[in-house]
Amino acid sequence: MATSKKTKKKPSALAAAQSRRLQMIGMPKMSPEQITHALFHAEERGEVERETQEDGSWVWVVKNGPDGSPQRLAPTPEMLEAYERFKRGEGHDKHH
Cα–Cα distance measured from residue 35 to residue 79, given in angstroms and rounded to the nearest whole number: 8
Q: CA 78 → CA 4, 31, 37, 65, distances in Å?
A: 58, 10, 12, 23
The whole model's pTM is what?
0.64
- Domain segments of the chain as ranges: 47-89
The candidate with the shortest Cα–Cα distance to 49, out of 86, 68, 58, is 58
pLDDT tens per residue across all 96 residues of the chain: 555 555 556 667 776 666 666 666 666 788 999 999 999 999 999 999 999 999 999 999 988 777 888 889 999 999 999 999 998 988 666 555
